[in-house]
Copies of this chain bind each other. A is one copy, B any other.
Protein backbone atom coordinates (compact mmCIF):
# COMPACT_ATOMS: atom_id res chain seq x y z
CA UNK A 1 0.00 0.00 0.00
CA UNK A 2 1.28 3.55 -0.60
CA UNK A 3 3.04 5.47 2.10
CA UNK A 4 2.76 9.21 1.97
CA UNK A 5 4.97 11.63 3.88
CA UNK A 6 4.68 15.39 3.91
CA UNK A 7 8.38 16.26 4.08
CA UNK A 8 7.84 19.94 4.81
CA UNK A 9 4.91 22.25 5.42
CA UNK A 10 6.26 25.77 4.89
CA UNK A 11 5.65 28.31 2.16
CA UNK A 12 7.84 31.16 0.85
CA UNK A 13 11.00 30.44 2.85
CA UNK A 14 12.41 27.60 4.93
CA UNK A 15 12.50 28.26 8.66
CA UNK A 16 14.68 26.80 11.39
CA UNK A 17 11.80 24.57 12.43
CA UNK A 18 9.81 24.22 9.21
CA UNK A 19 10.97 22.87 5.86
CA UNK A 20 9.41 23.92 2.58
CA UNK A 21 6.36 22.01 1.33
CA UNK A 22 7.24 18.79 -0.44
CA UNK A 23 5.52 15.41 -0.60
CA UNK A 24 7.01 11.90 -0.75
CA UNK A 25 4.91 9.00 -2.09
CA UNK A 26 6.25 5.44 -1.99
CA UNK A 27 4.75 2.25 -3.32
CA UNK A 28 6.52 -1.10 -3.24
CA UNK A 29 9.98 0.41 -2.93
CA UNK A 30 9.63 3.06 -5.62
CA UNK A 31 8.93 6.66 -4.77
CA UNK A 32 8.00 9.96 -6.31
CA UNK A 33 8.51 13.42 -4.91
CA UNK A 34 6.31 16.46 -5.46
CA UNK A 35 8.29 19.72 -5.37
CA UNK A 36 11.82 20.30 -4.16
CA UNK A 37 12.43 23.63 -2.42
CA UNK A 38 15.59 24.67 -0.63
CA UNK A 39 16.55 22.09 1.97
CA UNK A 40 14.29 19.29 0.72
CA UNK A 41 17.21 16.84 0.60
CA UNK A 42 17.88 17.52 4.29
CA UNK A 43 14.18 17.32 5.13
CA UNK A 44 14.03 13.91 3.41
CA UNK A 45 16.87 12.71 5.61
CA UNK A 46 15.21 14.20 8.70
CA UNK A 47 12.05 12.24 7.83
CA UNK A 48 14.11 9.06 7.33
CA UNK A 49 13.29 8.79 3.64
CA UNK A 50 15.88 7.42 1.25
CA UNK A 51 16.65 9.70 -1.68
CA UNK A 52 17.81 6.65 -3.63
CA UNK A 53 14.24 5.32 -3.83
CA UNK A 54 12.95 8.39 -5.65
CA UNK A 55 12.44 7.71 -9.35
CA UNK A 56 10.48 10.74 -10.44
CA UNK A 57 9.81 14.32 -9.50
CA UNK A 58 6.60 16.26 -10.14
CA UNK A 59 6.99 20.04 -10.06
CA UNK A 60 3.99 22.27 -9.45
CA UNK A 61 5.59 25.52 -10.59
CA UNK A 62 8.84 27.44 -10.87
CA UNK A 63 8.78 29.60 -7.75
CA UNK A 64 11.95 29.28 -5.70
CA UNK A 65 10.28 27.76 -2.65
CA UNK A 66 9.22 24.80 -4.82
CA UNK A 67 12.31 24.18 -6.97
CA UNK A 68 15.45 25.75 -5.53
CA UNK A 69 16.53 22.53 -3.81
CA UNK A 70 16.70 20.72 -7.13
CA UNK A 71 20.45 21.07 -7.91
CA UNK A 72 21.45 19.75 -4.49
CA UNK A 73 18.82 17.01 -4.71
CA UNK A 74 20.10 15.80 -8.09
CA UNK A 75 23.74 15.87 -6.92
CA UNK A 76 22.86 13.83 -3.85
CA UNK A 77 20.91 11.43 -6.05
CA UNK A 78 24.11 11.08 -8.07
CA UNK A 79 26.06 10.38 -4.89
CA UNK A 80 23.55 7.65 -4.06
CA UNK A 81 25.02 5.88 -7.13
CA UNK A 82 21.99 6.26 -9.35
CA UNK A 83 22.70 5.57 -13.00
CA UNK A 84 19.20 5.05 -14.42
CA UNK A 85 17.45 8.02 -16.05
CA UNK A 86 15.54 10.32 -13.71
CA UNK A 87 12.22 11.82 -14.78
CA UNK A 88 11.00 15.32 -14.06
CA UNK A 89 7.41 16.32 -14.88
CA UNK A 90 6.66 20.02 -15.01
CA UNK A 91 4.37 22.64 -16.56
CA UNK A 92 4.64 23.26 -20.29
CA UNK A 93 7.42 25.61 -21.32
CA UNK A 94 9.41 25.34 -18.10
CA UNK A 95 12.12 22.84 -19.02
CA UNK A 96 14.62 25.60 -19.79
CA UNK A 97 14.15 27.14 -16.33
CA UNK A 98 15.09 23.84 -14.73
CA UNK A 99 18.01 23.39 -17.10
CA UNK A 100 19.20 26.85 -16.02
CA UNK A 101 19.11 25.74 -12.39
CA UNK A 102 20.99 22.58 -13.30
CA UNK A 103 23.88 24.58 -14.75
CA UNK A 104 25.54 24.35 -11.30
CA UNK A 105 25.22 20.55 -11.24
CA UNK A 106 28.10 19.76 -13.57
CA UNK A 107 28.05 16.21 -14.98
CA UNK A 108 25.45 13.98 -13.33
CA UNK A 109 25.97 10.20 -13.52
CA UNK A 110 22.44 9.74 -14.89
CA UNK A 111 20.25 11.25 -17.59
CA UNK A 112 17.53 13.71 -16.57
CA UNK A 113 14.43 13.41 -18.74
CA UNK A 114 11.78 16.13 -18.91
CA UNK A 115 8.08 15.73 -19.61
CA UNK A 116 6.08 18.93 -19.97
CA UNK A 117 2.43 18.74 -18.96
CA UNK A 118 -0.44 20.82 -20.41
CA UNK A 119 -1.30 24.03 -18.60
CA UNK A 120 -4.72 24.46 -20.22
CA UNK A 121 -6.42 21.18 -19.28
CA UNK A 122 -6.30 18.14 -17.01
CA UNK A 123 -3.98 15.39 -18.15
CA UNK A 124 -3.46 11.75 -17.14
CA UNK A 125 -0.53 9.39 -17.44
CA UNK A 126 0.72 6.16 -15.90
CA UNK A 127 3.72 6.44 -13.58
CA UNK A 128 5.49 3.37 -14.96
CA UNK A 129 8.58 4.32 -12.93
CA UNK A 130 6.61 3.55 -9.76
CA UNK A 131 4.17 0.89 -10.96
CA UNK A 132 1.84 0.28 -13.92
CA UNK A 133 -0.90 0.49 -11.29
CA UNK A 134 -0.15 4.12 -10.45
CA UNK A 135 -1.90 6.84 -12.43
CA UNK A 136 -1.05 10.52 -12.15
CA UNK A 137 -3.32 13.36 -13.14
CA UNK A 138 -2.44 17.05 -13.37
CA UNK A 139 -4.73 20.09 -13.24
CA UNK A 140 -3.92 23.73 -14.06
CA UNK A 141 -4.27 25.90 -10.95
CA UNK A 142 -4.72 29.65 -10.58
CA UNK A 143 -1.58 31.24 -9.18
CA UNK A 144 0.62 34.19 -10.07
CA UNK A 145 2.48 31.90 -12.48
CA UNK A 146 1.50 28.68 -14.28
CA UNK A 147 1.05 26.02 -11.64
CA UNK A 148 -0.21 22.43 -11.60
CA UNK A 149 -1.95 20.33 -8.98
CA UNK A 150 -1.43 16.57 -9.00
CA UNK A 151 -3.32 13.48 -8.01
CA UNK A 152 -1.73 10.06 -7.61
CA UNK A 153 -4.11 7.13 -7.85
CA UNK A 154 -3.18 3.55 -7.11
CA UNK A 155 -5.45 1.19 -8.98
CA UNK A 156 -5.05 -1.64 -6.53
CA UNK A 157 -4.63 -5.25 -7.54
CA UNK A 158 -8.02 -6.89 -7.19
CA UNK A 159 -8.50 -10.09 -5.27
CA UNK A 160 -7.54 -13.07 -7.45
CA UNK A 161 -10.08 -15.93 -7.81
CA UNK A 162 -8.14 -19.21 -8.34
CA UNK A 163 -11.43 -21.08 -8.64
CA UNK A 164 -12.50 -18.93 -11.59
CA UNK A 165 -9.10 -19.40 -13.24
CA UNK A 166 -9.33 -23.17 -12.83
CA UNK A 167 -12.84 -23.26 -14.26
CA UNK A 168 -11.58 -21.37 -17.32
CA UNK A 169 -8.63 -23.81 -17.67
CA UNK A 170 -6.05 -21.01 -17.45
CA UNK A 171 -2.53 -22.36 -16.85
CA UNK A 172 -1.02 -21.22 -13.54
CA UNK A 173 1.89 -19.48 -15.33
CA UNK A 174 -0.52 -16.74 -16.48
CA UNK A 175 -2.09 -16.10 -13.07
CA UNK A 176 0.46 -13.52 -11.87
CA UNK A 177 0.18 -11.51 -15.09
CA UNK A 178 -3.60 -11.48 -14.91
CA UNK A 179 -3.50 -10.53 -11.22
CA UNK A 180 -1.21 -7.59 -11.96
CA UNK A 181 -3.88 -6.21 -14.30
CA UNK A 182 -2.66 -7.32 -17.73
CA UNK A 183 -4.64 -9.39 -20.24
CA UNK A 184 -3.17 -12.59 -21.75
CA UNK A 185 -3.84 -14.61 -24.87
CA UNK A 186 -3.74 -18.35 -24.23
CA UNK A 187 -2.18 -20.97 -26.55
CA UNK A 188 -5.72 -21.88 -27.66
CA UNK A 189 -6.31 -18.32 -28.80
CA UNK A 190 -8.64 -17.21 -26.05
CA UNK A 191 -8.16 -13.65 -24.75
CA UNK A 192 -8.42 -13.57 -20.98
CA UNK A 193 -8.93 -10.20 -19.31
CA UNK A 194 -8.14 -9.61 -15.62
CA UNK A 195 -11.78 -8.99 -14.68
CA UNK A 196 -12.57 -12.63 -15.64
CA UNK A 197 -10.43 -13.94 -12.76
CA UNK A 198 -10.51 -11.17 -10.15
CA UNK A 199 -13.08 -9.53 -7.96
CA UNK A 200 -13.59 -5.76 -8.20
CA UNK A 201 -13.88 -5.12 -4.52
CA UNK A 202 -10.79 -3.01 -3.90
CA UNK A 203 -11.29 0.63 -4.65
CA UNK A 204 -8.45 2.85 -5.88
CA UNK A 205 -6.38 4.80 -3.37
CA UNK A 206 -6.14 8.45 -4.30
CA UNK A 207 -3.93 11.26 -3.08
CA UNK A 208 -4.65 14.80 -4.28
CA UNK A 209 -2.03 17.51 -3.85
CA UNK A 210 -2.91 21.14 -4.47
CA UNK A 211 -0.82 24.12 -3.48
CA UNK A 212 -0.24 27.69 -4.63
CA UNK A 213 -3.63 28.57 -6.02
CA UNK A 214 -6.71 30.55 -5.18
CA UNK A 215 -9.64 28.23 -4.43
CA UNK A 216 -12.04 27.33 -7.26
CA UNK A 217 -14.67 24.63 -7.74
CA UNK A 218 -12.78 22.44 -10.19
CA UNK A 219 -10.27 21.64 -7.44
CA UNK A 220 -13.02 19.84 -5.49
CA UNK A 221 -13.85 17.80 -8.57
CA UNK A 222 -10.15 17.03 -9.11
CA UNK A 223 -9.76 15.83 -5.50
CA UNK A 224 -13.06 13.91 -5.60
CA UNK A 225 -13.19 10.84 -3.37
CA UNK A 226 -9.53 11.07 -2.41
CA UNK A 227 -8.49 9.25 0.73
CA UNK A 228 -6.00 12.05 1.37
CA UNK A 229 -6.24 15.60 0.10
CA UNK A 230 -3.18 17.73 0.80
CA UNK A 231 -3.96 21.39 0.25
CA UNK A 232 -2.35 24.74 0.98
CA UNK A 233 -3.61 26.93 3.81
CA UNK A 234 -1.37 29.99 3.93
CA UNK A 235 -3.18 31.61 6.85
CA UNK A 236 -5.90 30.76 9.34
CA UNK A 237 -7.05 34.32 9.88
CA UNK A 238 -10.26 34.92 7.85
CA UNK A 239 -9.40 38.62 7.53
CA UNK A 240 -6.58 37.68 5.17
CA UNK A 241 -8.91 35.98 2.65
CA UNK A 242 -9.10 38.74 0.07
CA UNK A 243 -5.40 39.58 0.05
CA UNK A 244 -4.47 35.89 -0.13
CA UNK A 245 -6.85 35.11 -2.97
CA UNK A 246 -5.54 38.15 -4.86
CA UNK A 247 -2.05 36.71 -4.54
CA UNK A 248 -3.17 33.32 -5.86
CA UNK A 249 -3.28 31.62 -2.48
CA UNK A 250 -5.97 30.37 -0.12
CA UNK A 251 -6.82 30.23 3.54
CA UNK A 252 -7.11 27.12 5.68
CA UNK A 253 -10.88 27.66 5.63
CA UNK A 254 -10.92 27.66 1.81
CA UNK A 255 -9.14 24.31 1.83
CA UNK A 256 -11.68 22.87 4.30
CA UNK A 257 -14.56 23.86 2.03
CA UNK A 258 -12.85 22.27 -0.98
CA UNK A 259 -12.26 19.06 1.00
CA UNK A 260 -15.92 18.99 2.02
CA UNK A 261 -17.06 19.46 -1.59
CA UNK A 262 -14.59 16.82 -2.78
CA UNK A 263 -15.84 14.25 -0.31
CA UNK A 264 -12.22 13.68 0.72
CA UNK A 265 -11.66 11.32 3.63
CA UNK A 266 -8.84 13.37 5.14
CA UNK A 267 -7.41 16.83 4.61
CA UNK A 268 -3.84 17.78 5.48
CA UNK A 269 -3.10 21.48 5.42
CA UNK A 270 0.34 22.72 4.37
CA UNK A 271 2.33 25.64 2.88
CA UNK A 272 1.92 27.93 5.88
CA UNK A 273 3.13 31.51 5.70
CA UNK A 274 6.37 32.11 7.68
CA UNK A 275 4.31 34.69 9.60
CA UNK A 276 1.97 31.91 10.79
CA UNK A 277 4.08 30.77 13.73
CA UNK A 278 1.53 28.40 15.25
CA UNK A 279 -0.82 27.09 12.55
CA UNK A 280 -2.10 24.37 14.90
CA UNK A 281 -3.93 27.13 16.78
CA UNK A 282 -6.69 27.10 14.14
CA UNK A 283 -7.33 23.35 14.08
CA UNK A 284 -10.24 23.26 16.53
CA UNK A 285 -12.20 25.91 14.63
CA UNK A 286 -11.40 24.32 11.27
CA UNK A 287 -12.82 20.99 12.41
CA UNK A 288 -16.23 22.67 12.48
CA UNK A 289 -15.89 23.19 8.74
CA UNK A 290 -14.32 19.81 7.98
CA UNK A 291 -13.91 17.35 10.84
CA UNK A 292 -11.16 15.27 9.20
CA UNK A 293 -8.75 18.18 8.84
CA UNK A 294 -5.20 18.01 10.19
CA UNK A 295 -3.04 21.10 10.48
CA UNK A 296 -0.08 19.03 9.46
CA UNK A 297 3.58 19.31 10.37
CA UNK A 298 6.93 18.33 8.87
CA UNK A 299 7.34 14.59 8.54
CA UNK A 300 3.68 13.61 9.05
CA UNK A 301 3.10 10.31 7.28
CA UNK A 302 0.33 7.90 6.46
CA UNK A 303 0.47 4.29 5.38
CA UNK A 304 -2.85 3.87 3.61
CA UNK A 305 -4.19 0.38 4.29
CA UNK A 306 -7.62 0.82 2.76
Contacts and interface: CB of A to CB of B under 8 A. Distances in A.
A10 to B, nearest CB: 10
Given A38-B41, A39-B38, A104 B14 contact: no
Given A39-B38, A104-B64, A75 B13 contact: yes
A45 B14 CA distance: 10
Contacts of A103: 62, 97, 100-101
Contacts of A72: 13-14, 37-38, 64-65, 68
A91 interface: no
A16 B38 contact: no
Contacts of A38: 38-39, 41-42, 68-69, 71-72
A105 interface: yes
Given A12-B79, A16-B42, A64 B105 contact: yes
A215 to B, nearest CB: 23
A63 B78 CA distance: 14
Contacts of A145: 106
Contacts of A14: 39, 41-42, 72
A16 B48 CA distance: 11
Candidate in A12, A42, A69, A105 with the most chain B CB atoms within 10 angstroms: A42
Contact of A16 (B13, B46, B100, B104): B46
A38 B20 CA distance: 13
Interface in A1-45: 12-16, 37-39, 41-42, 45
Interface residues on A, range: 20 to 34
A72 B69 CA distance: 9
A104 B63 contact: yes
A130 interface: no
A67 interface: yes
B101 A104 contact: yes
Contacts of A45: 15-16
A198 interface: no
A76 interface: yes
A55 B233 CA distance: 34
Interface of A: 12-16, 37-39, 41-42, 45-46, 62-65, 67-69, 71-72, 75-76, 79, 97, 100-101, 103-106, 145
19 contacts: A12-B79, A13-B76, A13-B79, A14-B39, A15-B42, A15-B45, A16-B45, A38-B38, A38-B39, A38-B42, A38-B68, A63-B104, A63-B106, A64-B71, A64-B104, A68-B72, A100-B100, A100-B101, A101-B104
